Chains A and B, each alone.
Chain A
Amino acid sequence: EPEVTQTPSHQVTQMGQEVILRCVPISNHLYFYWYRQILGQKVEFLVSFYNNEISEKSEIFDDQFSVERPDGSNFTLKIRSTKLEDSAMYFCASGGQLYGYTFGSGTRLTVV
């Protein structure tokens, strides 16, 4: 069964550093998403991406965040200057309008 692959599985970074979270969506999917889950809390929408541009972003997705699909297969989330409150599980998902969305296993980001 096709999978969404995320790397790394765990990233520890110092506050103020830049991090890039990587995702390889399912190849024939057209819609891509990033969600995050702070420990013990609900899953929160960050951003959706379609046709090489952002469709919608949440209020969490401020100027410190950016997404790219640099080579037609990878989908990245960059946080320019991490803060302690960015510590969370970050999930990438891909899918379409008529079927279920497939999530990756997540990247646990720890900002120290």
Chain B
Amino acid sequence: DAKTTQPPSMDCAEGRAANLPCNHSTISGNEYVYWYRQIHSQGPQYIIHGLKNNETNEMASLIITEDRKSSTLILPHATLRDTAVYYCIVRVLIAGNNRKLIWGLGTSLAVNP
């Protein structure tokens, strides 16, 4: 069962910031939030992940609320190539001190010229 909920679709103008929200109200204290994106049916591409602090890398920023029940992925200057399905994912602990990713249905982001 998915642990995240996202809007099914969003639009963004090219060059503007894209802010993609995610709710994960049942997340546990040691579970990370991951973001991936998928263009057409290609392999999912890692974007960013975090636990409770805000994170930034060359692709995006991740803002996690203090109660960790929601987060926002920010693409600061969206381009047409950022059109994809964006998945907010919770990484849960499984046997053998291993982890697995629990996927939701994602947000289909359309970047418009």
Contact = CB atoms under 8 A, between A and B. Distances in A.
Contact of B95 (A43, A45, A55, A100): A55
Interface of A: 4, 6, 31, 33, 35, 37, 39, 42-45, 48, 50-51, 53, 55-56, 89, 91, 97, 100-106, 108
Contacts of A105: 42-43
Interface stretch (B20-28, B63-71, B75-83, B97-105): B97-105
A87 B75 CA distance: 34
B96 A55 contact: yes
- 3 closest residue pairs by CB, A with B: A100-B46, A55-B98, A55-B96
9 contacts: A31-B99, A43-B87, A45-B101, A56-B96, A56-B98, A91-B43, A91-B44, A100-B48, A103-B44
Measured as residues with beta carbon below 8 angstroms from the partner, the interface class of chain B is 20 to 34
Q: Find the residue from A43, A48, A91, A106 having the highest chain B CB count within 10 A.
A: A43
B106 A89 contact: no
Given A42-B104, A50-B96, A106 B45 contact: no
Contact of B99 (A37, A97, A104, A108): A97
B2 interface: yes
Contacts of A6: 43
A56 B43 contact: no
